[in-house]
Amino acid sequence: MPLSDADQALLLRAVALAEQSIGLSDPNPRVGCVLHTAGGQLAGEGFTQQAGGPHAEVMALRAAAAQGAPLAGGTAWVSLEPCAHHGRTPPCADALIAAGLSRVVVALGDPYPQVAGRGVQRLRAAGITVDVAGAGPARQAAQALNIGFLSRVLRGRPWLRLKVAASLDGRTALPDGRSQWITGPAARQDGHAWRRRAGAVLTGIGTVLADDPRLDVRLVPTQLQPLRVVVDSAFATPPAARLLQEPGRVLVVGAQDQPARMASLRAAGAEVLLLPGADGRVDLPQLLQRLAANGVGELHVEAGAVLMRRSLAPTWSTSCWSTPRPGCWVRAGAWLRCQNCPRWMRPWASTSRIANASAPTCGCWCGGRVPTPSCTARHLPPWPDGRPALHHPAAAAQRPPAQPG
């Protein structure tokens, strides 16, 4: 039976609570819980804390106990199936049973092998009615929030997200190499928010040598810092590189055995990993599996053209987005595509004029603006259970014709 609108709304509330676990609960999934009394009054809410800390259900039960709310005969709305195993904490399913609830509504089943339906079974065996959401906004929101956890459990690799700061015609730098800043402060803050979501941030040695980035989270609040990973075949990362500074851990992955350089990086506080591939470069698919095995669910890639190109290989890319800025650079004479129609155009002949203007209209009947490319994603095959892969809503960008009319 489909869930009621009220159930959907309360599951979405649970997902909203779970968003507060971003930058806090990794590698555990982000979960939220809402409790009501038998009379339909709000009793308590909670979200999952740091790994080893209380889960969402326990936090909500504590909130209900703090205000003396009676839970016998009440209902819980949970964004992910309650766990049924002893890990760092006792089973949440047992805590809900002990509270005397009569109904539990779940937005999404937990595919983790030690749960995988056992939480629902345990609740039903205790006489509790359990309803699991089908296709709809609550399930979709719960999937999107835990996309990294789902990818790690179901596919054995992180969910990749490629971040590109690009000009209107897809360039990441001017011909002389200047690239700061293509975007503005709001885009940079948004980029830090995506870093906060990730278990690791990946870059290449070219970016380290050219830009000396820090790649930590600074512009948004966070409890955790992502692991910073450098793909560096020859272990050429300077020991004085800024990303080797605290906060957070750093992993430098190479393909050539360089004992002296590896020792210098270890002395600077980095972890090193030798992972050669058949082509003499770092084995990227193997690196993904290693990261997933160590709890990385979302992998955020900020790199140059070489590593980005490898990241877009259909065998392991997931999604990407760019952050174009109205009035940003565009190569003179570039063909741009309208957002709303198939028309291609050359807006102006001068880079400087583009730099001082907002996105121009394409000049045709649709009145669309040209363009604000948001994604050039390549999408992965479906999940193992047959569900379609979640991806960025924007379709892959089409290439202009060889000789536009």
Read off the pLDDT of residues 248-259 as tens digits, 9 standing for 90 and up. Answer: 999 999 999 999
Residue 84: phi and psi, rounded to 5, are: -130, 20
**Residue 229 confidence (pLDDT) above 60:** yes
Burial level of 216, CB count in 10 A (0-12/13-18/19+)?
A: buried
For the residues 158-169, what does the mean pLDDT come to?
76
- Tell me which residue has tokens 């904490």: 89
Q: How far is CA 280 from the centre of its chain?
A: 30
pLDDT digits (tens, 9 = 90+) for 364-389: 333 333 333 332 222 333 333 443 33
Strand-pair partners of 103:
75, 129
> Looking at 211-220, 229-238, 314-323, 342-351, which range is the least confident one?
342-351
168 falls in which pLDDT band (50, 70, 90)? low
pLDDT digits (tens, 9 = 90+) for 106-158: 999 888 877 888 899 999 999 999 999 988 899 999 999 999 999 999 889 99
- Give residue 211's pLDDT: 87
pLDDT digits (tens, 9 = 90+) for 50-95: 988 999 999 999 999 999 999 999 999 999 999 987 777 888 999 9
Q: Is residue 246 annotated as a catalytic residue, yes or no? A: no
Quick one: angle between helices 5-18 and 56-66, nearest 10? Answer: 100
Instruction: Please state, rounded to an integer, the average pLDDT across all residues of the chain.
Output: 78
Q: How far is CA 254 from the centre of its chain?
A: 25
* Percent above pLDDT 90 for the chain: 53
pLDDT digits (tens, 9 = 90+) for 330-341: 343 444 444 444
Sorted by where each starts, the structural domains of the chain and their CATH numbers stand as 5-145 (3.40.140.10), 156-324 (3.40.430.10)
> Looking at 137-146, 232-241, 336-345, 348-357, which range is the least confident one?
348-357
Q: Which two tokens stand for residue 295?
A: 């709890």
**Residue 349 confidence (pLDDT) above 70:** no
Q: Are 355 and 329 in contact (CB under 8 A)?
A: yes
Strand-pair partners of 231:
204, 253
| Identified catalytic residue from 45, 57, 81, 302 | 57
354 falls in which pLDDT band (50, 70, 90)? very low
List the strands of the sheet with 75-78, edge to edge.
Answer: 42-47, 32-36, 75-78, 103-106, 129-132
Nearest to 195 by CA among 322, 300, 338: 300
- Give residue 2's pLDDT: 82
Q: Which two tokens stand for residue 331?
A: 């190569």
Nearest to 123 by CA among 135, 131, 112: 131
